Amino acid sequence: MADEHDEHAANGDAHAHIHMPPNSWSPINVALALAMCFIGALAATWVWVVGLIWLIASLYAWVRAARSEYLELPETSNEH
């Protein structure tokens, strides 16, 4: 099995390395903001507005981080 990995790496196979995204608090932040929006819909308008602002800011931060991570990925060629 190790010989196969070394063989792929020696041939310059771009798929030999598995990319994992970094840890992020963004999904939890979005979930909490959504919960606040739902609670605000039942409780008070100002709670809903604060939750909506929090949701928009959290989604913006999440998309911005994902985009910057995507732009840092090395380009791969599909020569199969």
Q: What is the pLDDT of residue 40?
A: 95
Q: What is the pLDDT of residue 62?
A: 93
Sequence-separated (6 or more) residues with CB below 8 Å from residue 70: none
35 within domain boundaries? yes
The tally of domains found in the chain comes to 1
62 within domain boundaries? yes
What is the residue range of 55's domain? 24-74
Calculated CA dihedral for residues 56, 61, 62, 65, nearest 10 degrees: 160
Q: In angstroms, rounded to a whole number, what is the distance separating the alpha carbons of residues 37 and 25?
A: 18
Sequence-separated (6 or more) residues with CB below 8 Å from residue 30: 55, 58, 59, 62
pTM: 0.68
Q: Is 15 exposed, middle or buried (CB count within 10 Å of its CB: 0-12, 13-18, 19+)?
A: exposed
Q: What is the pLDDT of residue 14?
A: 55
Q: What is the pLDDT of residue 4?
A: 53
Q: What is the pLDDT of residue 19?
A: 74
2 within domain boundaries? no
pLDDT digits 0-9 by tens, 1-57 = 555 555 555 555 555 677 777 888 999 999 999 999 999 999 999 999 999 999 999
